[in-house]
Chain A
């Protein structure tokens, strides 16, 4: 089924200048644009100071590259070392249009797949550029010593990943993220050693400072001493990751949070598409209320595992005691063509449906079976072990159950956030001089991200896009000093941070920040999770607001502000999650269509598929902050598709 879109009569908000070059020649757009941007000459670069907050893939690559170019870089992370950033945990791989496998891949195909995978809710120009520079990332990482998998001839190996019909994913055993981050971190280390980067570990950015409409710097809190400091710069780059932990339980690392992006939002950076979240279908279900995070099991398991639940409700028999006739292989039944390999969102939603019906499995009835019995009978246990041995071991370690003998239990979990700070083609937010890169921005994945594309985007932004585009802004600032940190704008921001910190310590309530985070997560998961409807979203807004009220008056933050205090770190992050959750509910409510990871129950095909409404929603929603007592204003950036044809997905 293919639908073509009528030219939209809607217009983009004048506040959202995408800076996309006016040309139909998308293949040469970026090359030509690089030529037309202003440059800072090599000797002048050292006159500029750039702050990079976050040292995951996006931040480390940006900080290192900017320093190589000659800029003065100050980099910040709340971790004790850049190597601990959440990027380290990525498993599967990184895409690049190298076409080493000679299977017909190209920049255009990667571009096409990414726009389509994002369900036509991303900006074509950005995605095309991403596909173009993807090939340079692999070269760069290999030269740094990233040990990608190789074949016996010594050349790089590839695998294929969901949503693609070519083999374009480069991988490094199950630790592609760690190896790529170690590469970027090594480049960063070289610059730290040579003095190009001043590295600040264990410092958390708590405010963005803006003077006369332009970026002036940031305010940080030292996590070991509590000291509040100002840092001034010509430009600030936020590479602070995604907001998946608004759900409390997710596959993200425990410390991932939205604070840096949110504080920038409150200082004028528009926040785009907060309702777009990716829920990954194959995670290990929670075992009890004290579950702290969820573990992702590689999607590749769906190649050999069969997903099923009992046909009976509330069936407590062991899997082996349930006869074949009383099993419902629901994906194979509903989607005979794709079966267990339907895309992430379809697999996730269907798991939710059967669990909600009361057909879930496991002690808490909160999972579905992923059964390898047939595969083991067909190929032998040894073959299955060779393919998935480490995943089976990991599963057994976490659950105490042996997946060679009984089916795994899986359930979807929050994994990635496509929304984030709105940025233009230069990756600049709506605050002049403040940039957002990596998962922190909203740019390239539309309403759904394809597997192995986040690592690609983070490194594309950091190595190959931002280092060029930032010059265009800085070139005009030559001769301008930075705002001194004793300027009243900094002093006020510092006072506010210190004041807020003291307020948290003096609430003296009865429940921990963790408690409120967990309760908030339950609301967000139930109401703004895999399936959303008007009623639930309206309720969510009320529920979040009243829980937030209780949180502010009843949270208990132990300890002081002069030594390491993880409770104090946590409470500020939870406060920002509350504000984000409210906006997320609103964004989901007004986007009365289904697209990618955003499924509105009211908007589905007869087959139960996400049904887009291109007529009314072919835009990105970017929200403008006013103040705590005024709701954000929505701005729309209309999306135009000149190079890909819009179509409705079908996996029957």
Chain B
């Protein structure tokens, strides 16, 4: 074995379909290059399974650069694995040691039904976005981009929220399967900007109400933040809650007076 290669043992969740009960299966992943990424390691395991005429492990990924939010996985019980501020696709095998035993499971949450093996449906997150994750501005109706200056601090803050990649790790990490971190990032990205003010109160109400239709209740554990590959701040949850309460008591007909 070359010095850059390691042998590991994987316990992988296998589930043939949504209705299947599912089980763990153990695989020896031998001679894995420490330069490869975690998902490339799974690619190698899969090619070997196919060589043995066995079903490869289904998992999802696309950009493999930590931006599309497609990859998932609970690795040793942690959403996106052990490294802070990284998505699973950015995790490299040099994080592990020869002989390590690694458990690989899908993101588990009531609102993320398992499709197959490690692939889950995160469609419920899109529903929250449909409910108000936009600013109403039809194509062609926008004023010149520099008409309204946006203070840099406000723009930067909105950006910090907008950096969310919609991966759902926050939900998977939460003991209650709550989606507060994701929803707050989406609400506050728009609510913090001048362009987002007209629909601010309606947006927060609709998005939070939709979130509650699908996801659990937040009890301030903070696990979401620990798991988030973009380190979205918990402050956004506070901002969202503040906006939500205000929205409930606001007379929107007077919103123009602010």
Query: Complex formed: what's the CA distance from A136 to B142 in Å?
Result: 8
Chain A 50-90 against B: per-residue CB contact (8 Å), 1 yes, 0 no? 00000000000100110010000000000111011110110
Contacts of B58 in A (CB 8 A): 564-566
Nearest CB in chain B: distance from A12 CB, A: 33
Query: Complex formed: what's the CA distance from A143 to B151 in Å?
Result: 15
A80 touches B146 (CB 8 A): no
Interface size on B, residues (CB 8 A): 75
Question: Given A85, A143, A154, which contacts B137 in the complex, CB threshold below 8 Å?
Answer: A143
B134 touches A89 (CB 8 A): no
Knowing A147-B158, A155-B146 are in contact, say whether A399-B129 is a contact too (CB < 8 A). Answer: no
Query: Complex formed: what's the CA distance from A138 to B143 in Å?
Result: 10
- Whether, in the assembled complex, B119 has its beta carbon less than 8 Å from a beta carbon of chain A, the answer is yes
- Whether, in the assembled complex, A35 has its beta carbon less than 8 Å from a beta carbon of chain B, the answer is no
Question: Given A192, A397, A400, which contacts B90 in the complex, CB threshold below 8 Å?
Answer: A397
Contacts of A141 in B (CB 8 A): 145
A143 touches B142 (CB 8 A): yes
Which residues 334-386 of A have a CB within 8 angstroms of B? Answer: none
Nearest CB in chain B: distance from A564 CB, A: 5
B139 touches A65 (CB 8 A): yes
Knowing A142-B195, A399-B35 are in contact, say whether A147-B64 is a contact too (CB < 8 A). Answer: no
Which residues 22-70 of A have a CB within 8 angstroms of B? Answer: 61, 64-65, 68
Question: Given B134, B158, B159, which contacts A189 in the complex, CB threshold below 8 Å?
Answer: B134
Segment at the interface with A among B100-108, B161-169, B232-240, B242-250:
B161-169
B92 touches A189 (CB 8 A): no
Interface size on A, residues (CB 8 A): 79
- Whether, in the assembled complex, A17 has its beta carbon less than 8 Å from a beta carbon of chain B, the answer is no
B159 touches A173 (CB 8 A): yes
Segment at the interface with A among B42-50, B170-178, B219-227:
B42-50
- Whether, in the assembled complex, A187 has its beta carbon less than 8 Å from a beta carbon of chain B, the answer is yes
- Whether, in the assembled complex, B256 has its beta carbon less than 8 Å from a beta carbon of chain A, the answer is no
B155 touches A154 (CB 8 A): yes
- Whether, in the assembled complex, B86 has its beta carbon less than 8 Å from a beta carbon of chain A, the answer is yes
Knowing A143-B137, A156-B145 are in contact, say whether A515-B43 is a contact too (CB < 8 A). Answer: no
- Whether, in the assembled complex, A186 has its beta carbon less than 8 Å from a beta carbon of chain B, the answer is yes
- Whether, in the assembled complex, B40 has its beta carbon less than 8 Å from a beta carbon of chain A, the answer is yes
Contacts of B63 in A (CB 8 A): 86, 88-89, 253-254
Nearest CB in chain B: distance from A239 CB, A: 15
Nearest CB in chain B: distance from A605 CB, A: 37
Knowing A139-B143, A287-B36 are in contact, say whether A512-B62 is a contact too (CB < 8 A). Answer: no
Query: Complex formed: what's the CA distance from A149 to B163 in Å?
Result: 13
A145 touches B135 (CB 8 A): yes
Additional A-B contact list (17), CB under 8 Å, known A139-B142, A145-B189, A292-B37: A64-B139, A68-B138, A83-B166, A89-B63, A89-B67, A140-B139, A142-B142, A144-B137, A182-B162, A186-B133, A193-B130, A253-B63, A254-B63, A292-B64, A558-B50, A563-B17, A564-B119
B134 touches A144 (CB 8 A): yes
Query: Complex formed: what's the CA distance from A291 to B16 in Å?
Result: 28
Nearest CB in chain B: distance from A535 CB, A: 33
B50 touches A147 (CB 8 A): no
Query: Complex formed: what's the CA distance from A515 to B133 in Å?
Result: 41
Contacts of B217 in A (CB 8 A): none
- Whether, in the assembled complex, B255 has its beta carbon less than 8 Å from a beta carbon of chain A, the answer is no
Contacts of B68 in A (CB 8 A): 83-86, 88-89, 253
Query: Complex formed: what's the CA distance from A64 to B135 in Å?
Result: 13
- Whether, in the assembled complex, B79 has its beta carbon less than 8 Å from a beta carbon of chain A, the answer is no
- Whether, in the assembled complex, B123 has its beta carbon less than 8 Å from a beta carbon of chain A, the answer is yes
B92 touches A150 (CB 8 A): no
A147 touches B123 (CB 8 A): no
Contacts of A89 in B (CB 8 A): 63, 65, 67-68
Contacts of B17 in A (CB 8 A): 563
A464 touches B119 (CB 8 A): no
Query: Complex formed: what's the CA distance from A149 to B159 in Å?
Result: 9
